[in-house]
Amino acid sequence: MVLINIFASKFFGVKSIWKISLVALLTSVYLFAFSQDSTHSPSKIFHTSFTTEEDLERGNYFTIDTTLAYYHYYHPNYSLNFQSMGNIGSPVQQLFYQNRERVGFDLGIHFLDEYENIKENIRYYDVRKPYTKVLFTTGSKKEQNLNAIHAQRITRKFYAGFFFNKISSDGFYLRQKSNHTNLHFYTKYETNNNRYGSLVNYIYNKLQVEENGGIIGDSLFENNLEPRRDAYSINLLDASNLIKSHSFYFKQYLNFGQKSTRFDYKDSVDKKIILPTSRLYHSIQYLGKSYTYEDTTPDSIFYLDLFNYNSALPVFDSIHEKKLENEIGWKTVATDYTNFHELNRFFAKNNLSLWAKHQQINVTQNFKDTSFCTIDTSFQNYIGGGTIRINRIAKFLSLELHGNYVWKGYNKDNYLYKGTLGFHPDSTHHQLNLTAYAQQRQQDFIHRHYCSSQFLWDNNFKREQIQHVSLDYSNKRWGNLTGVSYQQINNPIYFDVNVRPNQAVGTVTNLLQAYISQHFIVKSFHLKTRVYYQKASGSNVIRVPAWILFGSLYFENYLFKKATYTQIGVDVFYNSAYFADDYMPLTRQFYLQNEMKLGGYPYMDFFINAKISKARVFFKVTHFNSGLMGFTYYQTPHYPMPDRAFRLGINWQFLD
């Protein structure tokens, strides 16, 4: 814990070179010390498991990952399928299109979703002893990331923990800095007889990004006429986006099932418990979220074509969202059904659920001159849904059906109906899933209403309708994942070239997608490949690259007399050229453009990952081919991707 305090207290107060030296020194000493101990016992961390709220309902727990697989991809920008501004922590959107399968209210601002902590992602740890994990990374341009997790058992079935994450990076170009903070606390409790349980969590997010509007003069970069990246002129000199959110969530449930007697080894007595087959639950969540964009010295050219532009006034936009959500429901619980009666055995072996949800939402939006326009509106949603999951409708077949419908409120008549038919000839290797869904949704709030110093609209678009079908195959033994999907989007809503929401009424966007992932192993050499293909046709309002390719070639084995387990290799990422969406900082939206075709450039990274006992360390040189294949590396118009840079990180895990 001393190391944690050192990094936390010095995280922003020491110059980068000293931080790098400190991490390297501590890593070397730590690894050397363990390398002298050839008889150390297997890690006790393998006895620690975790679950999410969704997996808890299915009875799924997962062992903590201590492998080196993709360990050096510690950040969303390195998950490959994202278009970004270049800097760590900058706005992103997906390159491989994925529809948002949601029912209910959506404000419609998603530019920093990948950095936000939400309740669905919280890991609830099941530990016997206190568990702590610390990740510290540092790199070029003052990039730093501190990530800490702590979990412990308070009493026999009462667990608590917290998560902290801090990201900071200046970036290569002026006014690119990102500064993100995530924090959450949680408790997980269940009575000794399994009758009652609860989940509680509190989440805080603060996401800050400086906005430079892109560089001025792309040709200067493309011809490398100015090698100093901080010497480039930029469009916005004093603009920034800030998101703050806090959320409180409380869920409690009562279990019903057969009574049983189990021997308690701790107290050396028999105790009566419930073997749950079904559960009645209630949950409540409050979410408060604010979005603030401000530019105190607006550039007249950048904002010239926008509605109501007045160069004498600061550009300011403030949106506040408050949501109170109550849900009540009943569901079956996955459990050991060996000795159950026939009806209870069916409930325990399969999963059924019914639920109803109420949303109370308030949205306000204004800028400093409230006499021009303001939004202050409240509304509700009443949503119902259910699930049927039958694990064996035949020898090798499973069936899963979901239904969600908004019967009253702001999003009235929104629905999502989804079904999956699974074929599992064995429980370990082959798996084939056929999935289909139909969805109807209201436009996001920001597509419908907007009021700021530069934009004003009040739209009434038709509902979007989506039909989707997909076929996915996986084989764990062969390391293979393969899939193909097709979807139709009727009346698609998008942001047009004028940076305003629009709808292609009466048109259909057809999207065909396919992917294959394969892991080849020859002795100590590994080749991981992922290939994505997609083709959009019809209304031409969804722009995606046709091809996305990823390859990782590396050597993996023990080194230094088996003192350390190491990966040494190269990653390559490529997407084909296409008219990538541009980005508007004020609305926080990606929008269509027809001027720059981007892509067709490979990004190459060199990496070393090493593991010894409870420590993992990585070193990587990102984009090491920078400048060797031209200077056309953009993912977003006017936002060049970073040049060659290094990253160094270490991950400690403690169980004591």
Domains and CATH numbers, the chain: 2-655 (2.40.170.20)
- Three-state DSSP string of 231-279: HCCECCCCEEEEEEEEEEEEEEEEEEEEEEEEEECCCCEEEEEEEEEEE
- Looking at residue 276, what is its pLDDT? 84
Q: How many CB atoms lie within 10 A of CB 571?
A: 22
pLDDT score of 410: 95
In whole angstroms, give the CA distance from residue 346 to residue 391. Answer: 10
pLDDT value of position 313: 67
pLDDT at 387: 95
Q: What pLDDT shows up at residue 20?
A: 39
On whether the CB atoms of residues 35 and 615 are closer than 8 A, the answer is no
Strand 49-51 relative to strand 124-126, pairing: antiparallel
pLDDT at 312: 62
Which helix (H) or strand (E) segment holds residue 25: the answer is helix 16-35
Q: How far apart, in whole angstroms, are the C-alpha atoms of residue 338 and residue 349?
A: 10
pTM (2 decimals)? 0.88
Is the separation of the CB atoms in 467 and 417 below 8 Å? no
pLDDT number for residue 197: 95
Using 70 as the pLDDT threshold, list the residues of the chain that sit under it. Answer: 1-47, 75-80, 263-269, 299-300, 304-313, 334-349, 367-372, 426-428, 656
Which residue type is seen at 8?
Answer: A
Query: Sign of the C-alpha dihedral, residues 225, 229, 233, 235?
Result: positive
CA distances from 45 to 81, 131, 132, 613, 618 (A): 31, 8, 10, 10, 20
> What local confidence, expressed as pLDDT, does residue 10 receive?
39
Q: Could you tell me the CA-to-CA distances from 649 to 62, 135, 168, 608 in Å, in that order? A: 24, 7, 14, 11
Q: In which residue are the tokens 């200077």 written?
A: 631
Query: 472 with 433: CB under 8 angstroms?
Result: yes
Question: Rounded to the nearest 5°, which phi and psi values hold at 353?
Answer: -155, 150
- Whole-number pLDDT of residue 346: 62
Question: Which residues neighbour 297 within 8 Å (Cβ) at sequence distance 6 or greater?
Answer: 237, 238, 314
Question: Is 240 within 8 Å of 294 (Cβ atoms)?
Answer: yes
